[in-house]
Chain A
Amino acid sequence: GAVVSQHPSRVICKSGTSVKIECRSLDFQATTMFWYRQFPKQSLMLMATSNEGSKATYEQGVEKDKFLINHASLTLSTLTVTSAHPEDSSFYICSAITGHSSGNTIYFGEGSWLTVV
């Protein structure tokens, strides 16, 4: 299957700082990328959808000024957690798809663990 890579896999940052997580589609052009977060023993929660070259669409309750998403190219999307707080500590996962058919498979990255201290 297609490969989606995230970096870093683990990051620790101090409260009040910003941290950026990258999501890359390695062998296909991703027209759309999705960002999720997952707390321990819970399911994945969709945060936002980003289409290349346009602004991200955020799910209800997700602060767009806190979670900045950029999808500047067909192979790269970034999630920046601004002014991070301990409650932002979570597992962040991206996924990517090419094309717009609902029959096209969405592939996921390995996830990034964020710990805010």
Chain B
Amino acid sequence: DAKTTQPPSMDCAEGRAANLPCNHSTISGNEYVYWYRQIHSQGPQYIIHGLKNNETNEMASLIITEDRKSSTLILPHATLRDTAVYYCIVRGAHGNTGKLIFGQGTTLQVKP
């Protein structure tokens, strides 16, 4: 599995955009970048994923660099409920499983 590197923690002011970086310099051509978040004592929540192009949904935007070696998750207007651990995961197809291997993630603290 390609590994990812994320800062251990970040702060963001409520109402401002939260930009969470992720490095995945060893990503290969058929591997997707996935983002999940985990609020304390709950299962991970899917946010967004992408392969090459930038992606946007109702929760966030995902910006992937042209060389695909890094990406940024953008929460456009962070709220206190966005406080969570955010995981950036590179996922490929290993046989027929394509399992998700979690790193340590980034703890995002949204402050009033």
List residues of chain A with CB under 8 Å of any chain B CB.
1, 4, 6, 32, 34, 36, 43-46, 49, 51, 57, 91, 93, 95, 97, 100-111, 113
Contact = CB atoms under 8 A, between A and B. Distances in A.
A100 B31 contact: no
Contacts of A51: 96-97
A101 B103 CA distance: 22
Q: Which secondary structure dominates chain B's binding surface? A: loop
Nearest to A32: B97
Contacts, number: 69
Contact of A103 (B32, B46, B104): B32
B93 A101 contact: yes
A102 B105 contact: no
Contacts of A103: 32, 49, 51
B36 to A, nearest CB: 8
Interface of B: 30-32, 34, 36, 38, 41-46, 49, 51, 87, 91-93, 96-105
Contacts of B105: 43
Contact of B98 (A57, A97, A108): A97
Q: Which secondary structure dominates chain A's binding surface? A: strand
Nearest to A6: B43
A36 B44 CA distance: 11
